[in-house]
Amino acid sequence: MSDTLLKFMLGPGHVRGVAVRLGDSWREMLRRRQHGAAVQELLGEMSAASVLLAGSLKFDGTLILQLHGDGPLRLAVAECQPDFGLRATAKASEAQVEQAAQVDLASLANPHGGGRCVITLDPRQPGQQPYQGIVGLTDAGGQALHDLSAVLRQYLDQSEQIPSWLMLAADDRAACGLLVQRMPDAADAAGASGERADEDFARAVHLASTLKRDELLGLQPEEWLRRLFWEEQARVFPAPQPRFHCTCSKSRVAQMLRMLGRDEVESVLRERGEVDVRCEFCGAGYAFDLVDAAQLFREQIDQPPASSRAQ
């Protein structure tokens, strides 16, 4: 099944939502980078969540969702680019995952209480600074959160201050998500209209909560909306189609090697005969031999100073 992203509004406009189903793109990510079932499911949920969050924002840039763990999962990253190109990767000890008595977010990434979720908004326009929000993997009372949906609800409550509900699921066929939010309308902050908005949001959450995991994974987003909100007059708006897209390239790898420095690169060349760099997201390999390395640093020397280039 293809990839689908839907943005929608319910009733009089007090509730908005985003629905996503990743099919082709998710299977392409799985084909390129293999992980154990537990890590794979979490990475799929993160991929769907990155699209939901990006789809809910008026933002021209890349959204990067990261989990930094202190358990078997050390790092997981899902990235949604401005055109809804996607890529994701994870670093985990699969042996430790298999030994865990229970496999959920808390045991994978937060067994010692040090795990955190980081969401970065990296603007596309030059000169703009990235924004970063960080939340722990525990609730306000210090209790471990056991699924990604709960962590992201906490993030939205704290960072965006928008009442939100979301559901995520992934398997080896699809990665899916549904996000429902109360519209952040200042005019509705008090009075009868504000109460109506709260009631509409509560009703939308109640209806959305009836969606089962197998329905989320087995049906198309249009069917979710029809089954859940058939009385709410859902209005669906055009949205880009998500797709797998890795932004790695030989020129980017070359720039990374220049940053490492000539001595480090030459040390690897003496030991191995070439520098072999493999993309952690898509698995693409980039090899640099003696001639390539010499050209790298010759180009660096030949470039005029910044002041000269600006003239």
Whether the Cβ atoms of residue 29 and residue 85 lie closer than 8 Å to each other: no
Provide the CATH topology of domain 4-244.
Answer: Hsp33 domain (3.55.30)
Hey, which bits of the chain come out as E strands? 4-10, 15-22, 61-68, 73-80, 85-92, 116-123, 131-136, 164-170, 175-182, 235-237, 243-244, 275-278, 285-288
More confident call, 126 vs 60:
60
Other beta carbons within 10 Å of 41: 19
pLDDT in tens, 137-157: 998 888 999 999 999 999 998
- 202: which 2 tokens? 């509560």
Four-CA torsion 36, 41, 46, 52, nearest 10 degrees: 160
Q: Which of 309, 293, 291 is nearest to 253 (CA)?
A: 293
pLDDT at res. 186: 42
Query: What pLDDT is attached to residue 196?
Result: 87
- State both tokens at 110: 């937060």
Distance CA(241)–CA(9), nearest Å, equals 19
Q: What are phi and psi of 235, to 5 degrees?
A: -110, 120
103 confidence band (pLDDT: 50, 70, 90):
confident
| pTM of the shown model | 0.88
Break the chain into its structural domains and give their ranges.
4-244, 250-303
The CATH homologous superfamily to which domain 250-303 belongs is HSP33 redox switch-like (3.90.1280.10)
Indicate the average pLDDT of the chain: 88
What's at 136, amino acid-wise? G
pLDDT in tens, 42-67: 999 999 999 999 999 988 999 999 99
Tell whether the model's pLDDT for residue 108 goes beyond 70.
Answer: yes
In this model, does residue 132 exceed pLDDT 50?
Answer: yes
Instruction: Report pLDDT digits (tens) over 188-218.
Output: 444 556 788 899 999 999 999 999 999 999 9
Q: CA-CA distance, 168 to 149, in Å (whole number)? A: 6
Per-residue model confidence (pLDDT) at position 48: 98
